[in-house]
Amino acid sequence: MRILVVTATAAEVGPFVAGLRPIADPTPRVTRYAGAGHDVDVLVSGVGMVATSSWLSRVLAGEQYDMALNLGVCGSFDRTLEPGAVVHVVSDRLAELGAEDGDAFLSIQQLRLEENEPPFVGGRLVNQSPPVNTTLAGLRAVDGITVNTVHGNDRSIACVVARLAPQVESMEGAAFMYTCLIHNLRFAQVRAVSNIVERRNRDAWRLPEAIARLSETARRIIEDL
C-alpha cells in the first residue's frame, strides 16, 4: 500500500519517522520510507492552511496514493480531552472564513457564498469514509476547527465555543481534509492534544508526551493496514 503522511513540521512525526527505513527524496519536502510492508511518503508541508493545501495539491497532482494520514498536535477546548490524548478529527471547519457584522460573525454559508457546495456538508468538512483500521476506529472521534491564529484570549475562546462548539483546533486540518476530498483520496486526520486552549501558558503544555503518543498511534495505524 502507498501511504502519504502529511505533517506541518518534522518534529511532530520525529519518533514515527525514526521507525521507518528511508528510501529516497522523490520531490521537494517529501521523503520516501518503507515500513510495515508499505511505501510511506512523508510530506512536511510547513505551518498553516496555505502551505498545507498548496504542497499537498502539488504532491497529489503527480502521485497516486491509497490513503493519506495527517499527523500533528492540536489544542483542546474539551477539558475531557487532556494533553497527551490522541484523537481522530472526523469533521473540521474553517473557523475564520466569513465576515464580521458588528459583534456578530457571518459564515460563508450565512453569506450564501457556498450553500453547502461540495466538499462542504452543512458548513463542515466531513470524513464520511475513513480507512478501515482497528487502531483508527479505537480513537475518540472529535469535531475540529482550523485557524490562522490559535486562540489564547478568554473572550475569543468563549465566542468560538458558543458559535461552533469545537473540541480541538489546529492550523492545518481543514486544508488537509478539503484537499483530500476534492482529490477523492481516502484519509484520516489524527492529532494529539498538546494543550488546553486557554490564555497562552507554555508551562502547561505536554508537547513531548503528545508527540510520543501520536507517533506510537501512527505506527499502529500503519501496521494495521
Cell numbers standing for residue 180: 483530500
Residue entry with cell 513531548: 208
pLDDT of residue 106: 81
Q: Please, are residues 113 and 219 in contact by the beta-carbon 8 Å criterion?
A: no
pLDDT of residue 114: 64
Cell numbers standing for residue 137: 476506529
Query: What residues have CB less than 8 Å from 86, skipping those under 6 apart?
Result: 139, 190, 191, 192, 193, 213, 214, 217
Name which of 191, 164, 16, 165 is nearest 89 in CA terms: 191
pLDDT of residue 115: 56
Question: Which H or E element spans position 4?
Answer: strand 2-7
pLDDT of residue 26: 67
Q: What is the torsional sign of CA 127, 128, 130, 136?
A: positive
How many residues are there in the chain? 225
Residue entry with cell 461552533: 164
pLDDT of residue 97: 84
pLDDT of residue 34: 96
pLDDT of residue 209: 97
CA–CA separation, 208 and 87 (whole Å): 16
The beta strands (E) that lie in 110-199 are given as: 120-121, 124-126, 140-146, 168-170, 187-196
Cell numbers standing for residue 168: 480541538
Position 170, amino acid: S
Coil/strand/helix, residue 41? strand
Q: Please, are residues 76 and 196 in contact by the beta-carbon 8 Å criterion?
A: yes
User: Structural domains in the chain?
Assistant: 2-224 (3.40.50.1580)
**Positions in the chain short of pLDDT 70:** 26, 114-115
What's the predicted TM-score (pTM) here? 0.94
